[in-house]
Structure 1
């Protein structure tokens, strides 16, 4: 078992802070095992004493709260939600292949994972504090100090009140029936289903009701800039996930026998949308085959898909594209969505491999 109890074949992009994704083929199951769950960090994993830890709820509230984990469990009802978390930089490597993005983690297609989360609804905690008039955003502050800001600051961000009050948003202490481990945000983290993973702040210390969006560096950092903009600028701040799919099998660079070949992957619509169709092409997009698509457990989970194609011997390229419940379809090219930070690559999935006779 590797660092932070992860499988030995994780693709480790950085060791400090620890940033790693599993091999794509390991994501075939509906729920992702803890040793396979991707890790995205901006600083060292903090060591927090659960007995001394307290959650502070403040800002534009009638009653400031300071709650231990036991008090959270006693005062509020326990709930579970199955939700997929995806790093905003998932599939950044495909953008880098088009044009370099210096200083960013070259994520492949596996910076995404799904779990059954256990905790309390954020809406119920906010009701306990009593939101005041003018509270339009709920900000989260983590317990990790980032290594890329001067001075160092905890990781944070915010979501609009309407999302915060949605029943699926949890303050979670459990994952897949187990206590949340330190590497994934213990003793408490936010889970914001359907939104970029950066809004699901780990090692949660503070929940603040505000009139304006979070002033934390990383709230605006997760934004899409125009292609010619300076990387330190501010663009379209990211929230709901973009429609996306990836090919998990065959793996990139693999060598397979020619003939019938099973092709499989996942698709994710984001926010409260669902995926309605996935198409796969073996001839550079001239013709498409509609894949078999699993129904969603809820609007916030990925959907796996599969089909079988007969492939000739030689170099092979497979394409995949998804459609969602609004009839939106993924853009064709990484060139279309390239941006200086490499976020939200939702262009067609592409995998190159070889078939031998």
Structure 2
């Protein structure tokens, strides 16, 4: 759909709500005259009807936090409505596989809702939440997105969506699991997740959705699994805790909820390999090529680990390590394990949880149901999911993931000379930041530009500043930080940030860079190469995004 008076900045206007309300609209004939059958049924050449349809259709997209505000919709409701479309020929029938082929503007953008198929290509550029967000659903279903953002489920939104209908879904048999597949009982996942591996499942939050929510929706929280997701019956589940006297304390899920006060903490989890793709671009580590989305933030609820350890007879002055084992295991029976220092576990300021809730809901299976460790400020690898056993001893966990993984090395270390005993296991993480919008290779418009991202530091250190450069680091601007107030030394959650800038006329390309500074004035290194390592972990270099500039 083409608009008669595009703004100088095209669809890059910051305040899209104001723009859509005030801008004159006039419908032009589409460049492609192959309009769908249902669109031909309706009357689309009336300017008032068109404006009303486009504004409502804006809410039918995947707005995800930037949805149009309908300040004058009640006034328009009193206007005469477009006549109901006349009955037409039956719609063609498509399989989901056929719909999936239409996953870009080049191949037309199709989506499904219920049993209907819609071609929304002509709406993509006008989407107020941004083209990149609506394209997340291309070739798939709208339901997973609308489940997160319920403002779409309104009759007037559905009415406009029907105007894009091109077909119906054929009944399909559900896919049959492969016999003997250990991953056959893994849970369903949100289609927007960016998948690195299917088995085991490892996927990150889409960058363009990260800055939309201070608390990452559970379905979009990044997934880091090492083995198949275990199937656990909460009624028979038991946590085994070794007591100071050598005996074992067995706790049911209900025991944890009844016997120990519930504590809540907002904490960010980050995989040690977050942003590894940038290291792989220098020299391949042959490990998962995470982008910037292996990090998420949630409000966790559960029992304090120190309360449970005190019940088991441990005292704050004791020393050693608290070791955890999960219920997830490989086919040989090897279980995932990790440990944290006893001092962190017992500290009143450590806020270490045995969590059974996530964002006010029961833990999802992918995120550790029915119980997991949340050790705020510490690398994600120590936040053991599907927790089965807790022991305390003088030594760290002897698991592979504590002894021979998740450690940092010099760039000079190779697989031929590596000595894993020479490096400590990662606990606190370094200061980190990344740009989530615009994305690499994006085309931005001259004029107003919004740059968004996240920043976080380990060990409870608060991020005090994020600097953003639009010229590769020659000059800098301070971004605006958003987020909840956090206690000194207990700043477990990330800060989202935003910079509203101006792109001068005549600019052809831009190198956008960000770097964060924490409360200890720790800064990020400016390049990746000096911190490259064989495991591809701890990439905290300045994040860089190259974009082109041009009118759309």
Residues 335/44 of structure 1: CA separation in 2 closer, same or farther (3 Å cut): same
RMSD: 1.8
Contact 1:156 1:218 in 2 (8 A): yes
Match of 1:277 in 2: 465
Displacement of 1:96 in angstroms is 1.0
**Number of aligned residues:** 353
Report the TM-score, using the length of structure 1 for normalisation.
Answer: 0.94
Structure having the higher Rg: 2
Match of 1:189 in 2: 372
Deviation digits for residues 281-335 of structure 1 (CA, Å, limit 9, x no counterpart): 1112111111111255430000011112222432221000011101111011001
Match of 2:343 in 1: 162
- Whichever structure has more strand as a proportion of its residues is 1
Which one has more relative contact order, counting CA pairs under 8 Å at least 6 apart? 1
SS class of match (2:208): helix
Match of 1:339 in 2: 533
SS class of match (2:533): coil
SS class of match (1:326): coil
Deviation digits for residues 57-104 of structure 1 (CA, Å, limit 9, x no counterpart): 1164565311111111111111111111111110001111122111x1
Q: Give the 5 Å matches for 1:48-197.
A: 48-58=232-242, 60-61=244-245, 63-102=247-286, 104-131=287-314, 135-146=319-330, 152-167=333-348, 168-197=351-380
SS class of match (1:93): helix
Equivalent in 502, 518, 531 of residue 310 of structure 1: 502
Whole-angstrom distance in 2 between the partners of 1:107 and 1:233 = 25
Deviation digits for residues 163-215 of structure 1 (CA, Å, limit 9, x no counterpart): 11134110011111111111111110000110100110000000101111111
Contact 1:18 1:40 in 2 (8 A): yes
Determine whether 1:319 maps to 2:513: yes
Equivalent in 16, 19, 26 of residue 199 of structure 2: 16
Whole-angstrom distance in 2 between the partners of 1:33 and 1:6 = 13
Contact 1:87 1:112 in 2 (8 A): yes
Whole-angstrom distance in 2 between the partners of 1:266 and 1:146 = 34
Equivalent in 210, 216, 228 of residue 393 of structure 2: 210
Equivalent in 221, 224, 248 of residue 40 of structure 1: 224
Residues 293/201 of structure 1: CA separation in 2 closer, same or farther (3 Å cut): same
Q: Which runs of 4+ in 1 moved over 6 A?
A: none
SS class of match (2:219): coil
Whole-angstrom distance in 2 between the partners of 1:152 and 1:62 = 24
